[in-house]
Amino acid sequence: MSDPRFRRAAVVAGPVLLCVAGAATFAAKIASVTVPGYAVPLSGPVVGTVSIDQPSAAVVVVSLSSSNPQVVAVPSNVPIQPGSTRAQFVATGAGPGCARLTAKLGDGTRTDYLVVHPASSASTLTMKLPNQILPLGGTIPSSVGTGSSFGTADVVLSSSNPAVATVPASVRLMRGSASFGITTRAEGCAMITATLGSQVLKRTIQVVYIGG
């Protein structure tokens, strides 16, 4: 006959941590980490959220890190209170560039990609890019404009990292706007620059292999 002292507690593989007196306690797992909007304002805060798959009877501490704290700074951990499945944190845009946030709980991790755009003094020049990561291996529709429907003008375009993404050398504004494509060539970060006379506008892009 087995020793009854060992009937009351047993470690079980998988998500079950402990079985005490017949009652099973399941470990919460990380579900997501999200920052709304993808682009974090330069020198400005934005509120993000970490979530777990189920509430816990105790405080759950989720570890949080940024791949590039000089671009996006975050706290090192986020506590989720008992009975809750989520908690908020503040991400701060520290400088232009790209960053990947990683939330870790136990062996589980979740990530979110973020960019910070450089400051701009352009008065009328605008650039429209997808407000999300760009998938590797495609041409992404984008555009520049001035808001004026009169005349024509050439906007000079460039990429800070042609190994990651390329753009045409220039596009001609017709009735205040022009379309162009961003061709993604490798994973990484790049700045797309549009120049019209004295106006210079830069936007950050992040290329990621989606898979499939």
Which pLDDT score, from 0 to 100, does residue 19 have?
34
Q: Is residue 80 predicted with pLDDT exceeding 60? A: yes
174-193 mean pLDDT: 97
Which pLDDT score, from 0 to 100, does residue 148 have?
77
86-113 pLDDT per residue, tens: 999 999 999 999 999 999 999 999 999 9
% the chain with pLDDT above 70: 86
State how far the Cα of 92 lies from the Cα of 89, in Å rounded to an integer: 10
State how far the Cα of 164 lies from the Cα of 186, in Å rounded to an integer: 5
Which pLDDT score, from 0 to 100, does residue 6 have?
33
116-157 pLDDT per residue, tens: 999 998 999 999 999 999 999 999 999 999 987 667 899 999
5-10 mean pLDDT: 33
| Largest separation between any pair of C-alpha atoms in the chain | 94
24-59 pLDDT per residue, tens: 346 899 999 999 989 999 998 999 999 999 999 999
Q: Is residue 18 predicted with pLDDT exceeding 90? A: no
What's the mean per-residue pLDDT of the chain? Answer: 88
Q: Which of 209, 195, 202, 190 is nearest to 97 (CA)?
A: 190
Residue type, 55: P
Strands (E), 8-160: 9-11, 16-20, 23-26, 30-34, 45-52, 60-66, 72-73, 77-80, 86-93, 97-105, 108-116, 126-128, 134-135, 139-145, 152-159
The pTM of the full predicted model, rounded to 2 decimals, is 0.84
